[in-house]
Structure formats: structure tokens, C-alpha cells
Amino acid sequence: MKPIIEVTELSKAYGDNVVLKNISVDIDSKEVVVVIGPSGSGKSTFLRCLNLLEEPTGGNIAIEGKSLMDKSTSITKIRTEVGMVFQQFNLFPHLKVLDNITLGPIQIRKWPAQKAKSKAMELLDKVGLADKANAFPASLSGGQSQRVAIARALAMEPKIMLFDEPTSALDPEMVGEVLAVMKELAKEGMTMVVVTHEMGFAREVGDRVIFMEQGYIVEQGTPEQIFERPQQERTKAFLSKVL
């Protein structure tokens, strides 16, 4: 089967500062790929290139066979298939939780309000926040906010979910509730690319772990390979610091 995401010799530079160097990686449907690495390694930039929040300066990205670099590809259309969860949640503070979730389906998918609402309630139930439907984001804790953000992304019924350090802005006691939702999602067969510092999650949930440093993919493999038998010195050095 053809990979759902094909990244070929991707590079990204801000002026002279090259942050991604010839990244090539294929991701299969239903695969959970966890990207780890020190800060400044380019892992978030890599993730943000996958839905073109960052414009690559070279190489190619194809999602379901459609090149994102191709001028005829509708990037807004691709983005409806690729959900994203941010470190800072980025909930819409002027909208109630329910309206945060239904905005996309109603305005972009053109669903009738009733259908969008029942889908949103179903998702809120799934992330354990059905009682917060009419709350405003400001009244939520970090963990609750991030779970709503996940529900918001899922409401578009994406085929791929991108997670950009989803637990890094959370108080430690709230990390678990967010990871639990992500774990559930992985179990259901969602294709996921997760940038995280949660090594436990990478080990337990990841099908594949990619270690990045200084804009390169240094090493990739199953969690066992990366965590138990890393081949590269730099991988070993990084893991010895975080584990």
C-alpha cells in the first residue's frame, strides 16, 4: 500500500539558517510516528511543514499522493484531512467549547448545525468533557483545553493527526489525561505524527520513533530499536540525558 505521507528531500531555511536538511520519510496509513530530539532540532518545523504552516524551501511532501508543492493542489482542502494539535492549544477564546468544535464542520464542511453539534457532543464525550460544552475556554484547565483542542481537530474527521508537543505546556498532573486520549486515538487506527518529549508515550504507543538533531533525521526505528539498541552516538547521548 502506498504511504499516506511521503516526504522527499524536504528542506527548510530561514535565510542562512537551515533548520531542515534533506528529510525523507514515508508514513503509512494508521501508523503512529513519534518524533523526538533536542530543542532546535527541527522536529516542530518538520511537523508544521506537513500541513504547510511552514513553507518548505526545497523537496516535496505528498499527502495521499497529492503533492503539497503543486500549485494546483488546494492546500485548504488538504488541511481538512490533516488535523493539528498545538502546544499552546490555540482554542478560540471567543467561542464556547461546543462552538470551537462545530466551527470547522459548519463553515468548512458545510454540515447542518444539528449534525455538527451531535458529532461535537460525541467527541466531547470521548475526551471526557461533555459537561464543558457550554463553557468558555478561559474556564478550562490546561489538560481540559488540550482535550477540547483534540476534539476540535477530530471534528473535521481528518485522516491524519499532527501533534506539536501537545503536553509541553501542561502542568505535570495533567499530562496523563491528554496522553490517554491520544493513546485511545492510536488504538482506533488514526495515522498520527507526534512531536513530544514524553518518552514513555513514544515507547508505549509509537510504531516508529524518529530521532532528529540539527535538522537531520539521525536515526529511526521501532521504539525497541531506538530506546534499547540505539546505533548512533548522538541518539545515545540524547537518550542518556532524557531517560
Partner 1 sequence: MDFRFDIIWDYAPLLLKGTLYTIAISISSILLGSILGLGVSFGKMSSRRFLRWPMQSYVNFFRGTPLLVQIYIVHFGLIPLLYGKTNALIAAITALSLNAAAYTAEIYRAGIQSIDKGQMEAAKSLGMTHAQAMRFVILPQAIRRMIPAFGNEFIVLVKDSSLVALITAPEIMYWSNAMKAQYIRVWEPYLAAAFIYFVLTYFLSKLLAAVERKV
**Residues forming the site for partner 1 (CB under 8 A):** 51, 53, 76-77, 79-80, 82-84, 86, 88, 90-94, 103-104, 107-108, 149, 152-153, 156
C-beta of 223: minimal distance to partner 1 in Å? 27
Residue whose CB is less far from partner 1, 142 or 223: 142
Q: How far apart are CA 222 and CA 33, in angstroms?
A: 9
* 86-119 exposure pattern, b = at least 16 Cβ within 10 A, e = fewer: bbebebeeeeebbbbbbbbbbeeeebeeeebbeb
Q: How far apart are CA 200 and CA 240, in angstroms?
A: 14
C-beta of 52: minimal distance to partner 1 in Å? 9
Question: What's the DSSP call for residue 107?
Answer: H
Residue whose CB is less far from partner 1, 79 or 132: 79
Residue whose CB is less far from partner 1, 79 or 208: 79
Handedness of CA 151, 152, 154, 160 (dihedral sign): negative
Q: Which three cell numbers stand for residue 149?
A: 483542542
Residue whose CB is less far from partner 1, 83 or 215: 83
C-beta of 116: minimal distance to partner 1 in Å? 13
Query: If we measure between CA atoms, which residue out of 34, 7, 4, 24 comes closest to residue 222?
Result: 34
C-beta of 1: minimal distance to partner 1 in Å? 25
Residue whose CB is less far from partner 1, 107 or 118: 107
C-beta of 233: minimal distance to partner 1 in Å? 36
